[in-house]
Amino acid sequence: MIYQIYPRSWADSDGDGVGDLPGITSHLDHLTDLGVDAIWLSPFYPSPQLDAGYDVADYRGVDPLFGTLDDFDRLVDRAHALGLRVIVDVVPNHTSAEHPWFQDALLAEAGSRERARYLFRDGRDDGETPPNNWPSRFGGPAWTRVADGQWYLHLFDVSQPDLDWTNPEVQAEFESILRFWLDRGVDGFRVDVAHGLVKEAGLPDATDETLPMWDQPGVHEIYRGWRRLIDAYEGERILCAEAWVESGEALARYVRVDEMHHSFNFRFLTTPWRADLLRATIDDSLRQAAAVGAPQTWVLSNHDVVRHATRLGRTDATDVVDTTGIGPGDPQPDPVLGLRRARAATALMLALPGSAYLYQGEELGLPEATMLPDELRQDPTWRRSGHTDRGRDGCRIPVPWSTEGPSLGFGSGRPWLPQPPEYADLAPDRQRGAADSTLELYRRLLAQRRAHRLGTATLRWVEQPDDVIAFDLVERDITVVANLGSAPIDLPHDREVLIASTPIGARGLPPDTTVWLSPRARPAVASSHGRV
Ligand code: NOJ
């Protein structure tokens, strides 16, 4: 169970409105109380913050916005003392334009060693046309021209130049960066844009059938090297790929026995709330991971997608999950339905064999901020898409810690993004101990998952109507039933409810609810010999 912390929005210790490392350290007990095993920290490195820290200017430091390296060491020590592992983000596809290497490249000439660390090319035709037709993931072309007429590649923002991973100097630098953090005691790395590092030789145009910038075979050789590197360290350390690839088979290639340990299962995240589609996703995912001898991973929310408590409240979206941001003027999802389904989806996910990733605040049932005024948006997606894609600010809102107080306990200053009014009632001080709260549901799910070791159980499907998902966790004698239909369904009589995602009455399992069932305890019957 790995819990993602987005440092700028977790807790602000110094009142500047942005979360920081001491803020994280001071709230780690929330996570031991919740019952997770590890935290993954999104980037906290020195950065101009033009993509919220995924634009790294120095890979071996801490941005003053978030604290110091000593703060980082204290965080790791405290986490380890509490039994929590610490995974950090590494961003190898691109640096910030403020990274000294890119600054040197701008000053150097075409063909120089400095330019060879990045993907500088001459333009086409008279040089005025970009070298190829690749688009940036944030909108617009993936190429920007520099003063002497050459172009550089940036698959993301113009401030995030792509590195050339065929260059041994780049490879050596990242191995050294990994060692730097491993030597400080980190337990692993989440690898940003893991499928993007190697581009097809010659940088050919993309076509309807080919995406020469993503998932090239050469990336795997890099991760084999990284695996050898981390395996040489004592203890268990892990690598996790962020790879938005075409198929489950392609995803599984990242977790072959000599590569990474995890790769985010984004197919699960993007599967609509439909029993047939979810069953197929779960089935395929388990099979594909097993084929390479890896555990499957599960995830429903992160800092790049609409929070699942809101996403699942879109009553119109049955076939396609659209993860682009929602703003004022857009159709507003139903928050009650969204939270009900989110709790059911989480209860389903946390029963599945493998590992799961949680995103900060989902244990509080936080919805996406869908009414954030456009002028406050900070995600470059909004600007680069020509104001057509609102981007990801709505899932990055500072976390509420208390019902009262400035920024609901996040910090004493004005938070970098405003919290919507409904966050007050979702603060942990309101939910802790409240039997039906989302926080208590997560605590129960995680405790039972741990007690029954569900992460290593075997899933066997149970006969079921079309709009129901039901399976046994064979060795653990637990049955999981999720009702995605529109009418209540009967539950087996020989089983009792261990956990329900929403309280259930006597009339069966209501729609949009998941239950974990265990064998009904036999009534104690006295025999003639007085034995029980
Ligand atoms: C994926 C990260 O999760 C996202 O937040 C970031 O914008 C891109 N990679 C670029 O680094």
CATH 3.10.20.30 corresponds to the domain 457-519: no
Give per-residue pLDDT as tens, 153-195: 999 999 999 999 999 999 999 999 999 999 999 999 999 999 9
Residue at token pair 């401030």? 159
Could you list the active site residues? 192, 242
CA of 81 to the centre of ligand 1 (A): 30
What pLDDT sits at residue 461? 98
Contact yes or no for 333/315 (Cβ under 8 A): yes
CA-nearest of 401, 454, 455 to 429 is 401
Kindly report the pTM of this predicted structure: 0.96
Question: How many residues are given for the chain?
Answer: 532
Alpha-carbon gap, residue 185 to 425, rounded angstroms = 37
The predicted pLDDT at position 317 comes to: 55
Spatial contact of 40 and 62, defined as CB atoms under 8 Å apart: no
Q: Whose CA is nearest to atom 5 of ligand 1?
A: 304
Q: Ligand 1 in contact with 345 (CB < 6 A)?
A: no
Asked: is 100-153 a CATH 3.90.400.10 domain? The reply is: yes
Q: Where are the domains of the chain?
A: 2-93+168-442, 100-153, 457-519
> Cβ distance 222 to 178 under 8 Å?
no
Closest residue (by CA) to atom 10 of ligand 1? 54
The correct answer on CATH 3.40.50.1820 for the domain covering 2-93+168-442 is no
Measured from the CB, is residue 193 less than 6 Å from ligand 1? yes
Residue nearest to atom 6 of ligand 1 (CA): 54
Spatial distance between the Cα atoms of 510 and 490, rounded to a whole number of angstroms: 9
51 lines ligand 1 (CB under 6 A): yes
Q: Which atom of ligand 1 is nearest to the CA of 94?
A: 11
Interval between CA 393 and ligand 1 midpoint (Å):
13
CA 94 to chain centre: 19
| C-beta separation of 180 from 72 below 8 A | no
Model pLDDT, residue 505: 86
What are the phi and psi torsion angles at 409 (to 5°)? 85, 0
Low-confidence ranges of the chain (pLDDT < 50): 526-532
Cβ(304) to ligand 1 under 6 A?
yes
From the centroid of its chain, how far is CA 423? 21
243 ligand 1 Cβ < 6 A: no
pLDDT for residue 321: 64
Determine the residue of 59, 191, 245, 304 to mutate for testing ligand 1's pocket, defined as the one with the most ligand atoms within 8 A of the Cβ atom.
304
Residue 54 in contact with ligand 1 by CB distance below 6 A? yes
Q: Ligand 1: distance of its center to the CA of 218 in Å?
A: 21
Return the ligand 1 atom nearest residue 54 CA: 11
For the beta sheet containing 238-241, the strands, ordered from the edge strand earlier in sequence to the opposite edge, are 262-263, 238-241, 188-191, 85-90, 38-41, 2-5, 355-359, 297-299
The reported pLDDT for the residue numbered 527 is: 44
For residue 528, the model assigns a pLDDT of: 42
* Residue pair 360/10 in contact by the 8 Å Cβ criterion: yes
Q: For residue range 6-58, list pLDDT tens digits in order.
A: 999 999 999 999 999 999 999 999 999 999 999 999 999 999 999 999 999 99
Using the 8-state DSSP alphabet, how is residue 388 labeled?
Answer: S
Question: Could you give the count of Cα atoms lying within 13 Å of 93 in the half-sphere of its Cβ?
Answer: 27
Point out which residues pair with 500 in neighbouring strands.
515
Helices (H), 334-483: 335-349, 380-384, 428-431, 438-451
Instruction: Quickly list H helices, 60-165.
Output: 69-81, 100-107
